Structure 1
Amino acid sequence: MAASVTSRALALLGAYDAEHRSLTLSELSRRSGLPLATAHRLVGELREWGALARLDSGEYVIGRRLWDLGLLAPVQSGLRQAASPFLHDLYGATLATVHLAVRDGCEALYVDRLSGHVSVPVVSKVGSRLPLHATGVGKVLLAYAPEPVRREAFARLTRVTPYTITQPARLAEQLRRVRSDGYATTGEEMSLGACSVAVPVRGPADDVVAALGIVVPDLRREQARLVSALQVAAHGIGRTLASAERKQVLARGAGAAVG
């Protein structure tokens, strides 16, 4: 069956990723699997609508209109808005890189990040996706993920650094401790010279909706203090999310009563 115009346009947008943020027309054609003439026509339409923008170099990048739409997604407008003041408080108290992530399949999707003062090799960016088993926030999200997700994640334990945990039994024990202790740690498992600690963020139904983490050069002396600061911030985010949901429920009830 021939691909629809929509699927072809989405294939063009899907050609972009964290490593390919700007692409020439030929690269878009190749990475999307579309003929050059088709790519040229659709790129023109996407550019006119604002989904793509053309640089002076001739390369194309994601346009501002897609960014504006992305901000309307619940993970952006709800979670990020609720978490923002607590992330800034956490950053002010620690001066470390602070992460907020949600689970997207078997990856941790980073929805917010504040860069720390200390020079630590951090590979995450807002919008990037990293393996669950190799990151602090990822381990938290994996510990509370449904069993099918854990099985899939355990089937692809890739080694990122020499310290990445790739033994299923060892990782399973770490996840058990995450659920019992309330936090996860990593030691140079995603990038050399960087350690992390993360805690769960719980939603109104007490389910884990996100993970909040900090990246530092060394956890040996400050782990307890960082865990405490993270838990206070995570509790505050959860409280804010619950308050927002209560207001929405009341507003819906008022609207129904008026109707």
Structure 2
Amino acid sequence: MAGNTSTPGATVTSRVMALLGAFDEHHRRLGLTELARRAGVPVPTAHRLVGELTAHGALARDAEGRYTIGRRVWDLGHLAPVQSGLVETASPFLHDLYAATLVTVHLAVRDGEECLYLDRLRGHASVPVVSQVGSRLPLHATGVGKVLLAHAPAEVQERVLARPLRRSTPHTVVNARVLRTQLEAVVRDGWATTSEEMTLGAASVAVPVLRRTEEGPDVVAALGVVVPPKRLQRSRLVAGLQVAAQGIGRALGPG
């Protein structure tokens, strides 16, 4: 949630950003009062600014009077370099991987201390998948998230491990010592796996996407698949993921 922008001296820009930032994975539709509360903006001010944002397409209002992120914000988001460059380059490799496996395929990057999903191809199998393009999930509870956390700077890892880890299912690893051991194994082995840690009935395998730089290989993203736990053929999936990830890294070229 955004900070309290109702304090004196808050700019119009900070209030607009607070209103947009009030939406998240669990709050996709908000009434005006709740939107103002989550943004820390007085209701009269929120009413005025939300009206302007809606008129410009940054927000949309549904039949029940609640607000959602508008198409204009979605269009602008696709102009971000991480979207237009990485997603476009990775797309054919994601489709090849999907064609070979027919399972759900994910491309994700680390955004601060969260896992941001850039692309997703939905598999044929009936597997509960909570991720969507643009959604953010905990780094510690997903395959792609564990890959990204394992290769994150030490200070990021320490911040994540120092705070209470959210338990999404009974199988979520919330013990910092156990998670640290898992992250070390991810770096050593080159892949991560989870079983029903984010959602029951779903397992995942993921690998890093490496790009060559002058300082050496840099992990720019994680590529993963989601399957039913009983279909978790790890060696076969890891092999396919690594071929696709290597292809993406070569296509990206030196950083």
Q: TM-score, with normalisation over the residues of structure 1? A: 0.89
1:39-86 Cα shifts (integer Å, max 9, x gaps)? 111112112222112223322221211111100111110111011111
In percent, how many aligned pairs have the same letter? Answer: 66
Aligned partner of 2:96 in structure 1 is: 89
Q: Structure 1 stretch 80-89 or stretch 25-34: which is displaced more?
A: 25-34
**Counterparts of 1:1-259 in structure 2 under 5 Å?**
1-156=8-163, 157-205=165-213, 206-218=217-229, 222-242=233-253
Three-state SS of the structure 2 residue aligned to 1:204 is: strand
Report if the CA contact (8 A) 2:128-2:199 is conserved.
yes
Paired with 2:180 and 2:31, the residues of 1 have a C-alpha distance of 44
Report if the CA contact (8 A) 2:57-2:72 is conserved.
yes
Q: CA deviation at 1:221?
A: 5.8
Three-state SS of the structure 2 residue aligned to 1:43 is: helix
Higher helix share: 1
Three-state SS of the structure 2 residue aligned to 1:20 is: coil
Specify every segment of 5 or more residues in structure 1 that has no aligned partner in the other structure, as ranges. 246-259
Report if the CA contact (8 A) 2:117-2:132 is conserved.
yes
What's the C-alpha RMSD, in Å, of the aligned pairs? 1.5
Match of 1:167, as an amino acid?
N
Q: CA deviation at 1:122?
A: 1.3
Three-state SS of the structure 2 residue aligned to 1:213 is: strand
Stretches (4+) displaced over 6 A? none
Paired with 2:220 and 2:20, the residues of 1 have a C-alpha distance of 27
Report if the CA contact (8 A) 2:196-2:229 is conserved.
no
Paired with 1:151 and 1:216, the residues of 2 have a C-alpha distance of 30
Q: TM-score, with normalisation over the residues of structure 2? A: 0.91
Match of 1:53, as an amino acid?
A
Specify every segment of 5 or more residues in structure 2 that has no aligned partner in the other structure, as ranges. 1-7
Paired with 2:119 and 2:89, the residues of 1 have a C-alpha distance of 12
Report if the CA contact (8 A) 2:203-2:232 is conserved.
no
Match of 1:172, as an amino acid?
R
Match of 1:145, as an amino acid?
A
Aligned partner of 1:251 in structure 2 is: none
Paired with 1:236 and 1:20, the residues of 2 have a C-alpha distance of 36
Match of 1:12, as an amino acid?
L
